[in-house]
Structures are given as structure tokens and as C-alpha cells.
Amino acid sequence: MLAIIIFGTRGVRSTVSEGTFVCPQCISNQQYKHKKVTQFFTLYFIPLIPMGNKGEYVECLGCRNTYITRILQMQPTLDITEKQATSAAVGQPRAQLNTGAVDSTAAIEPEKDKVIKKLLIMMILADGKVENAEIVSFHRIYHESTGQTVRDIYKEMDEVKAENKSPHQYLKEVVHGLNQEGKEAILKASMRIAAADGDIDPSEVRMVENFGKALELKPAEVAAIIEEAKNKQE
Ligand SMILES: [Zn+2]
């Protein structure tokens, strides 16, 4: 009988601390969890031996976005925000919340939005030419996926070109700053841009499957997202 030993590695998440912070997406005080990702050597998918810290992030329990941990050092903004929130409550326009101190945390993008932006640009640049229709699709899909807009896509494209990374390589670098929701949102956005030209061909499906692997999603989760996008197409 043939015995197959299955081993590999996997990131395991644990909570380092929790508390409240000002979430730039929710624009309010929210509960957070500061998570650490430890890489484990796995045998038959069971994590056995820790192989070191692979990354960490702060997750908002309100909107489920993840952020770089530096956002927690911006807590002094909390006081001012509370005052603004109070003045907003007594009749001032809500737009007040967007001014002043909140700006410093608002400058921190959710990790998934950052990754979606770069990945979609990499996909546009992949064939060496950039068509107008692709730029239009980018803006539409980026906005649908994140609720955000990109002001200067040409500057972003220059940055991506200068970094010169393959999508797979890039995703492996950022995977440990993301939670499950973020990973799924990224894969859905990449599937949308693949479908933007009117059809989804097998090479595009393989590409998205590879993104799923780099993001450490389970094959069944990846298949469900691809299937959902195909159904929308018909
Ligand atoms: Zn939030």
C-alpha cells in the first residue's frame, strides 16, 4: 500500500490585544482585534510546528476591514473625534467628522482596498498595453468593490511598474495582513476584471485560481467565487 504523507505550511491567526479605535471606514469608534499570524508547519493539514511571526494587522469588528497596526498609535485623534461626534449630534453636518484629526487615520487605507487596487492594475498591465476600456472598467470595479475612488490611476500604474512584481509574488507578500473577508473581496474583484471584456476564458479562471492559492483560500472557496462570477455573466 502506498502511504502519502501530506505536509505544508499555513498561517494561523491569534489575537494579541483588543480595544477601541477610530476606524477610517466606519468614521467612528469601533471595537478592534489586533491579530498576529504565525506560520505553522502542517502535517495532514494539522498545524504542528510554529515557524515564526508572518505578519499582523488590526481588524475592525464593525466593518471587518483590516489595517496596518500603526493605526493604533494614532489614538490621540480619539478625543477630538469624540468632541466632533458630539457637536455633530447637536445639529452640525456629519461632514464635520471628516475634517481635522480624523484625516490622519483616514489616510490609512483598508488593506484589502490597497491590494485590490494593485492587483487590478497588474491585471490591466499584464498584456503590455493599456486600453481606455480597461481604465473605465478599473474605475467601475474598484469603486463597486471598495466604495473608494482612485484619483490618479496613471501614477498608481507607474508605481506598480516600478515595483515589477508578479501578482502571485505580490499576493504572497500581503496575505498575512488580510482576513477571510478581505481575501474573498480581492478574489471577487479580480474575477470581475477578468469578466469585464465580456467573457471569462479558461486562462483567466486558472489565473484567479492561482490568486486564490497565493491568498491561502481553500479550493472550494475559490471555486464558489469563480462559479458565482460565471453565473452573473450569463
Ligand atoms: Zn470599521
The tens digit of pLDDT for each residue in 33-70 reads 999 999 999 998 888 999 999 999 999 999 999 999 99
User: Do 217 and 142 share a domain, yes or no?
Assistant: yes
What is the distance between the alpha carbons of residues 209 and 153, in angstroms, rounded to a whole number? 26
Q: Which residues contact 119 (CB under 8 A, 6 or more apart)?
A: 167, 170, 171, 186, 189, 190, 211
Cα(28) to centroid of ligand 1, in Å?
8
Whether 13 and 22 have beta carbons less than 8 Å apart is answered as no
Whether 191 and 222 have beta carbons less than 8 Å apart is answered as no
pLDDT of residue 78: 46
pLDDT of residue 13: 93
Cα(215) to centroid of ligand 1, in Å?
22
User: Do 183 and 210 share a domain, yes or no?
Assistant: yes
| Residue ending a domain, choose from 55, 73, 106 | 106
Q: Determine if the pTM surpasses 0.85.
A: no
- Residues that place a CB less than 5 A from ion ligand 1: 23, 25-26, 30, 60, 62-63
Which pairing describes strands 46-60 and 7-23: parallel, antiparallel, or unpaired?
A: unpaired
User: Do 135 and 102 share a domain, yes or no?
Assistant: no
The predicted-structure confidence for 134-163, as pLDDT tens digits, reads as follows 999 999 999 999 999 999 999 999 999 999
Q: At what angle do helices 111-125 and 132-146 cross, to 10 degrees?
A: 160
Cα(57) to centroid of ligand 1, in Å?
13
Give the number of other Cβ atoms within 10 Å of residue 72's Cβ.
15
Grid coordinates 495532514 are at which residue? 44
Cα(117) to centroid of ligand 1, in Å?
19
The domain in which residue 55 lies consists of 7-106
User: Do 152 and 200 share a domain, yes or no?
Assistant: yes
Whether 55 and 37 have beta carbons less than 8 Å apart is answered as yes
- Looking at the domain assignment, is residue 31 inside a domain? yes
Of 35, 42, 60, 66, residue with least CA distance to 216: 42
The predicted-structure confidence for 195-216, as pLDDT tens digits, reads as follows 998 888 899 999 999 999 999 9
The predicted-structure confidence for 61-112, as pLDDT tens digits, reads as follows 999 999 999 999 886 544 444 444 444 444 444 444 444 444 567 789 999 9
Return left, alpha or beta for 151; rule: phi > 0 is left, psi -120 to 50 is alpha, else beta: alpha
- Cell, residue 192: 470581475
Cα(174) to centroid of ligand 1, in Å?
20
pLDDT of residue 91: 43
User: Do 116 and 192 share a domain, yes or no?
Assistant: yes
User: Do 119 and 73 share a domain, yes or no?
Assistant: no
**CATH value at residue 206:** 1.10.3680.10
Give the number of other Cβ atoms within 10 Å of residue 32's Cβ.
23
Whether 231 and 191 have beta carbons less than 8 Å apart is answered as no
- Looking at the domain assignment, is residue 1 inside a domain? no
**Cα 98 off chain centre by:** 23
The count of domains in the chain is 2
